[in-house]
Amino acid sequence: MHALVINCSPVKTGATAEICRIVSEELASRYSVKSICIDDYDFSFCRGCRTCHETAKCVMEDDVANIMDEFEAADIIVSVSPSYWADIPGQFKAFIDRCTPWCNTHEPHASLSPGKKGYSIALRTGPNMPECERVISSIEHFYGHLEIECCGKLGLPAVEFKENVEPRKQEIIAFCREI
């Protein structure tokens, strides 16, 4: 079984990256794990042309196809996202917009193989959970339209820097044991 862990932040050395590292380490005994960062990929914004509503294909050719290859190869997808202005970072939102060819609200649409399970982890600097829930609901909305089953979520408020992750390690490990 293959697990894909996605750092949805553009920061490759921050708190999100540290959570991804812990998750990948925890899953490695049960899954073959691939860890990626949204910032490793180069892709354009969706232009909203809706050609994909007729063709199930995007008019642009770039790294979105490479990310989707990783989704296709995975049985389990874990998206780890910080809150940027109370939602997912723009880079990850730009990727989701470009997944419109795979969105199940129009026919024809591209499809991932069935049976994939999606997990969401949200972190933020502020102390309260509702903003984490908002980030998680953006990820789960995306999973839903790609027919990836939403199977678990973890909110981690009061995390800003890499150093703030260590005291939360047991929470993260407990979450991973349910995956």
Task: Name the token pair of 135.
Answer: 């980030």
Based on the shown chain and the rule CB under 6 A, indicate whether residue 94 belongs to the binding site for ligand FMN: no
Coil, strand or helix: which one is 130? helix
Burial (CB count within 10 angstroms: exposed 0-12, middle 13-18, buried 19+), residue 29: exposed
Per CB under 6 A, which of residues 13..52 are in contact with ligand FMN? 14-17
Per CB under 6 A, which of residues 148..177 are in contact with ligand FMN? 159-160
CA pair distance 105, 56, nearest whole angstrom? 11
Based on the shown chain and the rule CB under 6 A, indicate whether residue 86 belongs to the binding site for ligand FMN: yes
Q: Which of 33, 135 has the CB closer to ligand FMN? A: 135
- Which range of residues in 66-74, 102-110, 122-130, 170-178 is near ligand FMN by CB under 6 A? 122-130
Based on the shown chain and the rule CB under 6 A, indicate whether residue 79 belongs to the binding site for ligand FMN: no
Q: Which residue's structure tokens are 């829930």?
A: 133
The site that binds ligand FMN (CB under 6 A) totals a number of residues, namely 18
Q: Which of 109, 168 has the CB closer to ligand FMN? A: 168
Based on the shown chain and the rule CB under 6 A, indicate whether residue 73 belongs to the binding site for ligand FMN: no
Residue 82 half-sphere exposure toward CB, CA atoms < 13 A:
28
CA pair distance 123, 98, nearest whole angstrom? 24
Q: Which of 98, 124 has the CB closer to ligand FMN? A: 124
The H or E element spanning position 93 is helix 90-98
Contacts to ligand FMN by CB under 6 A: 9, 11, 14-17, 82-86, 123-126, 131, 159-160
